[in-house]
Amino acid sequence: MHTGATYRPLDTPIEYLKGVGPARAELLQKELHIFRFRDLLQHYPFRYVDRTRFYQVKDITPDSQLIQLKGVVDQFKVIGERRRKRLTARFTDSSGSMELVWFQGIKWIQKAIAPGQAYVIFGKPNFYKGQVNMPHPEVEPLSQANSQTRAALQPIYTSTEKLKTRGLDSKGLYKLTQALFQRLSPTDLPEMLPDTLRQQYKLVSRYEALRMIHLPKSGKEVRAAQRRLKFEELFLLQLRVVKMKLRRHELHKGVIMESLEQYFNPFYHHHLGFDLTNAQKRVLKEIRRDLLSGNQMNRLLQGDVGSGKTIVAVMSMLMAIDNGYQAALMAPTEILAQQHYQGIAEQLAPLGLRVALLTGSVKGAERKQLFADLANGDIHLLIGTHALIEEKVQYHDLGLVVIDEQHRFGVAQRAKLWRKGTTHPPHVLVMTATPIPRTLAMTVFGDLDVSVIDELPPGRKPIATHHLRDSDRLRIFGFMKEQIAEGRQVYVVYPLIQESEKLDLKDLQDGYESVTRAFPLPDYAVSIVHGKMTPEDKDYEMQRFVRGETQIMVATTVIEVGVNVPNASVMVIENAERFGLAQLHQLRGRVGRGADQSFCLLVTKDKLSNDGRKRIRTMCETNDGFRIAQVDMELRGPGEMEGTRQSGRLNLIMADLTTDGPVLEEARKSAHQLLDNDPHLQAPEHAGLRQYLLAQKQRAGFDWSRVL
């Protein structure tokens, strides 16, 4: 296998770089995971300071970042004892003066700086009791600064307190990078993007991009470097997911399902009872195309709460049943499986199909009979929880599986499911009500085809969302009473965060008591549901609410993925600032199921953080789950969003999915074109890319074996 001598210099341990040595190397490894030369190259600056610009003391504001000034340093004083000991000095320019402060290296600084001389100082100013000062500034004689040919743009690197004590602050890391580039030549960083691709997108070479990102001569160079490095990062990532998708199509052929005559068409034309939205029709066409392609379908169906995903799933399963195959629908919880079963069995009753339910509650002789009927093909559609993929569950001929809420369903379970097909793996449709921004879906779920239902059925009224404070409690209770008087029901939800379960349950109990005081028997009845209750007690309370025997349900987030109660039109979320945006949106989706106007009241404490304020404001401004998901990604970062943390694919250093959508689109298109023309990268113009990927594989990075 090609080891690639050209890669060796970058594999050199970091301690062999001039200015590092064993002690500093150990710190760099622990603090920044910099083990080799290549790791230092990928420790990119997070911003740049224009060292041609000089500020004056009078220009400094509380918002000032890193700045440099020219002036005289004098009046040194040592103040305090032991740990409180600090050195101060006065810095003066023609516009005014300020204090400089050092807490470490006092003796060295006293020797290095001559009082009354002119210096250039550089650092971040502070305001303390209305007075400006600058802690630990970089100081160099004015004569030296003028004579030096130093970079106009100085890169700023992240560092840590421990590294700073060993001289590896941002400036120290910059010196190491300069030393590294003195040892590297363009041949040490060979080009791996094909020339045609670089020319098409006007990208600088790999060597130039890395030189410009660390040692730029202008802002224009920084922008050119960033564009190249972002494209490269996203292109490699897309190459991987596109290849996985193509490989799946190669390895896993799918059964072709042509017929729609016996069940699908009669259901659509005579039993549906309402018109599908254009978005639902579009998604059904996409699924139909997959089922006719001869490839195994692996499609992610995204749609907001209430957008009508379930009916699309039902009609997809009818396509399979029409062709003599069985279908299965897997839900994340027993209560949701029961709800799907009741709704779907009723919808399909006129067709004479047998729909069955399999959960942990189905036991003994009933379970045995169900297994037998499933194996001999008497059951057309099976609905259940993870019980559907147990070893004992044998299908006659499973053709299509719908998975509700994909992030609760792992890769290992999906593999078990594939083995349930007799001749081919079943087609898979994964549904989620957690909207995922397009850039994130293309990255994390790039090997799935993505369908989106982006339109709500007609007649759905947007949920009116209002922000209220704890001090508005009487108004909130008054509004709840008005709604109950009109025959509506109300959810009151409290946060439940694992680390402080005792505190949270106390919140819930206190809340329940204050609600029952304000809504006393016999005029009102209140249910309570939380995670510490037995499943039987939980189900009993839920069913009382469903039947309308209680008007208010006080609950923790166990209702986030829960029952459908069309009569519940008010959602009160207590301590709303403690919930993430995705969770707030999911909770709000519990109401608005009926024809009446529904309301969501977000109740918070009086003081909110900036992020908290933005979350609440976003919820009040829009009902659009995709807009909410985009803001959520901007606030939390893509790696923290539901279902992506464990994906292992968001190893992005330069690119940012919240802002680099256009670059991602270009990278994906290019990856598709390249692999369509040369699936195994055998063409001479792809030799550099192939060698780069093989070298990456050797270093045990990504598993590129599936690509090569």
- For 69-97, what is the mean pLDDT? 90
Q: What is the pLDDT of residues 394-438, one digit of tens each?
A: 999 999 999 987 555 566 676 677 777 777 889 999 888 777 777
pLDDT class of 702 with cuts at 50, 70, 90: very low
Nearest CA to 287 out of 138, 147, 401 is that of 401
Q: Quote the pLDDT of residue 516.
A: 93
The answer on pLDDT for 641 being more than 80 is no
First to last CA, the chain: 12
pLDDT class of 706 with cuts at 50, 70, 90: very low
The answer on pLDDT for 20 being more than 90 is yes
Q: Quote the pLDDT of residue 142.
A: 84
DSSP state of 520: -
Q: Quote the pLDDT of residue 624.
A: 85
E-assigned strands of 367-472? 381-384, 398-404, 427-432, 449-453, 464-469
The answer on pLDDT for 197 being more than 70 is yes
Q: Quote the pLDDT of residue 531.
A: 76
Q: Quote the pLDDT of residue 167.
A: 86
The answer on pLDDT for 708 being more than 80 is no
Q: Quote the pLDDT of residue 130.
A: 80
Q: Distance between CA 132 and CA 419 in Å, rounded?
A: 69
DSSP state of 95: T
Q: Which residues pair with 300 in a beta bridge?
A: 430, 450
Q: Quote the pLDDT of residue 559.
A: 64
Q: Which of 114-118, 281-285, 591-595 shows the lowest per-residue confidence on average (mean pLDDT)?
A: 591-595
**Could you tell me what percent of the chain has a pLDDT over 70?**
90
Q: What is the pLDDT of residues 559-574, one digit of tens each?
A: 655 567 888 999 999 9
Q: Distance between CA 335 and CA 359 in Å, rounded?
A: 10
DSSP state of 35: -
Unique residue bearing structure tokens 């363009």 = 186
**Higher confidence at residue 105 or residue 552?**
552
- For 277-304, what is the mean pLDDT? 92
Nearest CA to 324 out of 267, 397, 378 is that of 397
Q: Quote the pLDDT of residue 496.
A: 67
pTM (global) more than 0.75: no
Unique residue bearing structure tokens 């992020």 = 611
Q: What is the pLDDT of residues 23-46, one digit of tens each?
A: 999 999 999 999 999 999 999 998
Q: Distance between CA 597 and CA 571 in Å, rounded?
A: 12
Q: Quote the pLDDT of residue 81.
A: 84
**Higher confidence at residue 562 or residue 9?**
9
Q: Quote the pLDDT of residue 650.
A: 59
Q: Quote the pLDDT of residue 703.
A: 45
